[in-house]
Amino acid sequence: MLVVMDTHAGEDQVNAVCDEIRNMGLTPHPMPGAQRTAIGITGNKGAVEASRIEQMIGVVRVIHVTAPYKLVSREFHEEDSAVHVGDVMFSKQNFTIIAGPCAVESAQQIDEVAAHLKAHGAHMLRGGAFKPRTSPYSFQGLGETGLKLMQETGKRHGLPVVTEAVDRESLQLVEKYGDMIQIGARNMQNFSLLRDAGRSRKPVLLKRGMSATLEELLMAAEYIVNEGNPNVVLCERGVRTFADHTRNTLDLSAIPFVQRTSHLPIIADPSHGTGRREKVIPLSCASVAVGADGIIVEVHPHPDQAMSDGPQSLFPDQFVELMRQISVIAGVVNRTLIQEPQPKAV
| Min CB(18)–ligand PEP separation in Å | 38
Which residue, judged by CB position, is nearest to ligand PEP in the bound state?
Answer: 184
Binding partner at 236 among Mn ion, ligand PEP, none, C-beta below 5 to 8 Å by kind: none
Q: Which of residues 53-82 bind ligand PEP (CB under 6 A)?
A: none
Number of residues near Mn ion (by CB under 5 A)? 2
The yes or no reply on residue 127 touching ligand PEP (CB under 6 A) is: no
Cβ-proximal residues to 255 (8 Å cutoff; 6+ apart), any chain: 236, 266, 268, 287, 290, 291, 292
Cα–Cα nearest to 278, from 230, 302, 237, 245: 245
Supply angle C-alpha 324, 159, 250, rounded to 5: 55
Residue 244, burial from CB neighbour count under 10 angstroms (0-12, 13-18, 19+)? exposed
Q: Applying CB under 5 A, does 102 fall inside the site for Mn ion?
A: yes
CA distance 196 to 168: 7
Q: Is 272 in the site for ligand PEP (CB under 6 A)?
A: yes
Work out whether 300 is an interface residue with ligand PEP (CB under 6 A). Answer: no
Q: Which is nearer to ligand PEP, 75 or 164 (CB)?
A: 164
H and E: helices and strands count for the chain: 11, 14
> Pattern 200-219, binding to ligand PEP, x per CB under 6 A?
-------x------------
| Residue number, 240 or 324, with CB nearest to Mn ion | 240
Q: From Mn ion, ligand PEP, none, which one binds at residue 207 (CB under 5 to 8 Å depending on kind)?
A: ligand PEP
Give 71 or 307: the residue with its C-beta nearer to Mn ion: 307
**Least distance (Å) from ligand PEP to the CB of residue 299?**
12
Q: Residue 179 binds what, of Mn ion, ligand PEP, none (CB under 5 to 8 Å, by partner type)?
A: none
Helix, strand, coil proportions of the chain in percent (round to 5)? Answer: 35, 20, 45
Segment interacting with Mn ion (CB under 5 A) among 57-65, 72-80, 90-98, 307-315: 307-315
Torsion sign, CA atoms 235, 237, 240, 242: positive
185 binds, among ligand PEP, Mn ion, none (CB under 5 to 8 A by kind): ligand PEP
As to burial, measured by CB atoms within 10 angstroms (0-12 exposed, 13-18 middle, 19+ buried), residue 257 is middle
The terminus-to-terminus CA distance of the chain in angstroms comes to 24
Pick the binder of Mn ion from 309, 313, 322, 323 (CB under 5 A): 309
Name the nearest CA neighbour of 258 among 123, 80, 97, 2: 80
Of positions 53, 102, 233, 280, contacts ligand PEP by CB under 6 A: 102
Question: In the complex, which residues of this chain contact ligand PEP (CB under 6 A)?
Answer: 102, 128, 132, 184-186, 207, 237, 269, 272
